Amino acid sequence: MYQPNHHDFQTLIEAMPICTILHDAQSKDILWANTAALSALGFTLEELIPLKAPDMTRDAPKYKRSIGLRWLERAARSGQRTIEWCYRSKAGVEILSEAVATLVHLDGRDVLMVQFRDISREDKVKRDLIHAEEARRVSEQQLEYLARYNAMGEMAVAIAHELSQPLAATRNFIEGALIRLGDTHSADQGVHWGLQSAVRQVEHASTIIKSVRDYVVKLEQSAERVDLNELLHETQYFISLRAEPSQVRLEITPSAEPLMVHCERVLIGQVILNLAFNGIEEMSGLPVERRVLRLRACRDDGVARLSVEDCGRGIQAVAQEKIFDGFFSSKVGGNGIGLALCKNIIGRHHGDIWAQNLEPCGAVFSFSLPLVGV
Ligand SMILES: Nc1ncnc2c1ncn2[C@@H]1O[C@H](COP(=O)(O)OP(=O)(O)OP(=O)(O)O)[C@@H](O)[C@H]1O
Ligand SMILES: [Mg+2]
The domain spanning residue 130 has which CATH number?
1.10.287.130
In the DSSP assignment, the letter for residue 284 is: T
pLDDT value at residue 117: 92
Indicate which ligand has the atom closest to the C-alpha of 277: 2
Residues sharing a CB contact under 8 Å with residue 105, sequence separation 6 or more, in sequence order: 111
Residues sharing a CB contact under 8 Å with residue 26, sequence separation 6 or more, in sequence order: 76, 109, 110
> What number is the average pLDDT over the span 266-282?
92
Which region among 12-16, 187-191, 254-258, 286-290 has the lowest average model confidence (pLDDT)? 187-191
Beta partners for residue 307, in sequence order: 296, 366
Q: Is residue 38 part of a domain?
A: yes
Q: Is residue 361 part of a domain?
A: yes
- Does the C-beta of 335 come closer than 6 Å to ligand 1? yes
- CB distance 285 to 331 below 8 Å: no
Q: How many angstroms separate the CA atoms of 84 and 227, rounded?
A: 67
What's the CA dihedral at 164, 167, 173, 174 to 10 degrees?
Answer: -140
Is 137's pLDDT higher than 70? yes
143 and 61 in a common domain:
no
User: Interhelix angle for 265-282 vs 228-243, to 10°?
Assistant: 40
How would you classify the pairing of strands 249-253 and 292-300?
A: parallel
Residue nearest to atom 17 of ligand 1 (CA): 338
The domain spanning residue 58 has which CATH number?
3.30.450.20
- Does the C-beta of 331 come closer than 6 Å to ligand 1? yes
DSSP string, 146-176: HHHHHHHHHHHHHHHHHHHHHHHHHHHHHHH
Per residue in 338-349, pLDDT tens? 898 899 889 989
Domains of the chain: total: 3
Note down the domain range covering 158. Answer: 121-217
- Does the C-beta of 334 come closer than 6 Å to ligand 1? yes
- CB distance 123 to 176 below 8 Å: no
Q: Smallest Cα–Cα separation from 308: which of 249, 367, 350, 227?
A: 367
The number of residues in the chain equals 374
Q: How many angstroms separate the CA atoms of 251 and 289, rounded?
A: 13
- Does the C-beta of 363 come closer than 6 Å to ligand 1? yes
Q: Is residue 1 part of a domain?
A: no
Domain edge (last residue) among 118, 145, 160: 118
Domain edge (last residue) among 103, 118, 133: 118
pLDDT value at residue 46: 94
Indicate which ligand has the atom closest to the C-alpha of 362: 1
For residue 357, how far is its CA from the centre of ligand 2 (angstroms)? Answer: 17
Q: How many angstroms separate the CA atoms of 95 and 88, rounded?
A: 6
Is 206's pLDDT higher than 70? yes
59 and 145 in a common domain:
no
Per residue in 320-373, pLDDT tens? 888 998 778 888 888 788 898 899 889 989 999 999 999 999 999 999 999 997
For residue 310, how far is its CA from the centre of ligand 1 (angstroms)? Answer: 12
Terminal CA-CA length for the chain = 102
Question: Where would I find the H helices in the chain?
Answer: 6-15, 35-41, 45-48, 65-78, 120-183, 189-217, 219-222, 228-243, 265-282, 338-348
Tell me which of 329, 335, 358, 367 to substitute to probe ligand 1's pocket, judged by most ligand atoms within 8 Å of the beta carbon: 329
Q: Name the residue with higher pLDDT: 366 or 204.
A: 366
127 and 101 in a common domain:
no
- Does the C-beta of 356 come closer than 6 Å to ligand 1? no
For residue 78, how far is its CA from the centre of ligand 1 (angstroms)? Answer: 61
> What number is the average pLDDT over the span 129-151?
77
302 and 270 in a common domain:
yes
194 and 77 in a common domain:
no
- CB distance 272 to 231 below 8 Å: yes
For residue 315, how far is its CA from the centre of ligand 1 (angstroms)? Answer: 9
> What number is the average pLDDT over the span 105-114?
93
pLDDT value at residue 370: 96
pLDDT value at residue 60: 64
What's the CA dihedral at 130, 132, 133, 134 to 10 degrees?
Answer: 90
pLDDT value at residue 348: 86
The minimum-distance atom of ligand 1 relative to the CA of 340 is 18
Is 374's pLDDT higher than 70? no
For residue 145, how far is its CA from the centre of ligand 2 (angstroms)? Answer: 18
Residues sharing a CB contact under 8 Å with residue 277, sequence separation 6 or more, in sequence order: 239, 242, 338
In the predicted model, what is the mean pLDDT of the chain?
A: 87
Is 302's pLDDT higher than 80? yes
